[in-house]
């Protein structure tokens, strides 16, 4: 395991401290939160932790079932106690960019139904200004090139459809993913999110604003938990 992967494992496992017996838990998607799911599965099997999970992707669903986490449909429960998810970037105001794993729509639905959101990350994800990663945007396949052109004009940057070989990369929902190469320039992520969502053809945008309550951050110096002073935890 290389250093970056080791930091992901440390952060992913540390976030499990927020999970207690009886909780309804949103299970995020990505290479860091994978370790959260693995650790929660171990606690279910070895320590008798009693939880139910709601996965944010087919990949997470399959992993959770493999490690023995009982799953339920989001609509069958009255909200979630917590969601633990990864991030591609987070800024000093706890605003996020997500969607590198192409699961942003399901991730945002689950996050909005959760009483709290804990993000797991390594130190590379901490930025002063959002945007260097780009903005993942889920769009409808219909006239996707037209939507991409409209987004490029709106954001004044290159917007590229994500590909898988010679085909468009499709989400679990059957939509396309576009990446806006905006650079570290998002000074008002709330306004940017609203303007993107106003473009016909956009299903959802990978800006997660006013959702994150804590970041479990792994670095070469160990693990720090950064608490959002305006958060719910």
CATH 3.40.50.150 assigned to domain 135-205? The reply is no
89-131 pLDDT, tens digit per residue, is 999 999 999 999 999 999 999 999 999 999 999 999 999 999 9
CATH of domain 3-126+209-225: 3.40.50.1360
- Cβ density class 99-137: b for 16+ within 10 Å, e for less: bbbbbbbbbbebbebbebbbbbbbeebbbeebbbbbbbb
Catalytic residue status for 89: no
The domain ranges of the chain are 3-126+209-225, 135-205
Which one is catalytic: 13, 89, 107, 193?
Answer: 107
150-165 pLDDT, tens digit per residue, is 999 999 999 999 999 9
**pLDDT on residue 1:** 72
């Amino acid at each position: 395991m290389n250093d970056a992967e080791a930091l992901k494992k440390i952060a992913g496992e540390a976030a499990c401290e927020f999970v207690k017996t009886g909780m309804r838990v949103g299970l995020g998607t990505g290479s860091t939160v994978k370790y959260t799911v693995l650790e929660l599965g171990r606690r279910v099997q070895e320590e008798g932790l009693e939880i139910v999970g709601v996965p944010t992707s087919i990949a997470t669903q399959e992993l959770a079932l493999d490690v023995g986490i009982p799953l339920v449909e989001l609509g069958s429960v009255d909200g979630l106690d917590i969601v633990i998810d990864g991030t591609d970037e987070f800024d000093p105001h706890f605003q996020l960019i997500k969607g590198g794993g192409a699961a942003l729509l399901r991730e945002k639905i689950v996050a909005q139904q959760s009483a709290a959101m804990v993000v797991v990350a390594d130190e590379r994800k901490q930025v002063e200004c959002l945007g260097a990663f780009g903005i993942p945007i889920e769009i409808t396949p219909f006239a996707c090139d037209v939507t991409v052109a409209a987004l490029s004009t709106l954001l004044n940057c290159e917007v590229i459809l994500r590909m898988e070989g010679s085909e468009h990369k499709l989400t679990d929902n059957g939509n396309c993913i576009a990446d806006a190469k905006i650079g570290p320039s998002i000074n008002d992520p709330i306004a940017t999110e609203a303007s993107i969502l106003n473009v016909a053809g956009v299903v959802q945008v990978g800006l997660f604003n006013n959702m994150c309550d804590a970041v479990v951050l792994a670095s070469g110096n160990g693990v720090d938990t950064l608490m959002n002073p305006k958060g719910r935890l």
